[in-house]
Amino acid sequence: MPAPALGSILRALRERRGLSLRELGQLAEVDHAYIHRLETGAKESPSEDVLTKLARALKAEKRDSLMLKYLAEHPDTDVGLAMHVLDDQSVTFDVFAGAASFAFRGTGRPDYKKMLERVRRILGDDNGHG
């Protein structure tokens, strides 16, 4: 079973900072085994306090912190979409949240770029910076 979006984003942010699970645990004052369980999906729905500690220790941008909190509340969010948005800094949190609420139909792979552009148009954020 693949890791949920929260776990995938948490791991990506940790790896970008070059931190081990133990190092992140020490910085955030959160048990490293618990962080591992969050990353693998063995645990879901961490408290607001834990998410705040992790985001602070990861020195996450505001958008990325909001994404972590959103993903904790919406565990069924598409992992591919979350990872795509994490890599595209031009996507605002509001655009991400709008796209994450879309339902996927069919068996084809979703086109995240088109989906995000559609949400930008709906929100009136044509320049990608709203």
Task: Give per-residue pLDDT as tens, 12-68.
Answer: 999 999 999 999 999 999 999 999 999 999 998 899 999 999 999 999 999 999 999
Residue range(s) defining the domain that contains residue 89: 5-123
Whether residue 74 is contained in a domain is answered as yes
Per the structure block, which two tokens stand in for 42? 């063995």
Q: How many domains does the chain have?
A: 1
What is the distance of C-alpha 38 from the center of its chain?
Answer: 12
Between the two ends of the chain, the Cα-to-Cα distance in Å is 35
Whether residue 101 is contained in a domain is answered as yes
Whether residue 128 is contained in a domain is answered as no
CATH number of the domain bearing residue 88 = 1.10.260.40
Which residues, other chains included, contact 115 with Cβ-Cβ below 8 Å and sequence gap of 6+? 81, 99, 102
Whether residue 86 is contained in a domain is answered as yes
pTM passes above 0.85: yes
Burial of 40 (0-12, 13-18, 19+ CB in 10 A): middle
Tell me the per-residue pLDDT of 54-95, one tens digit each, with 9 for 90 and over: 999 999 999 999 999 999 999 999 999 999 999 999 999 999
The residue type at 39 = E
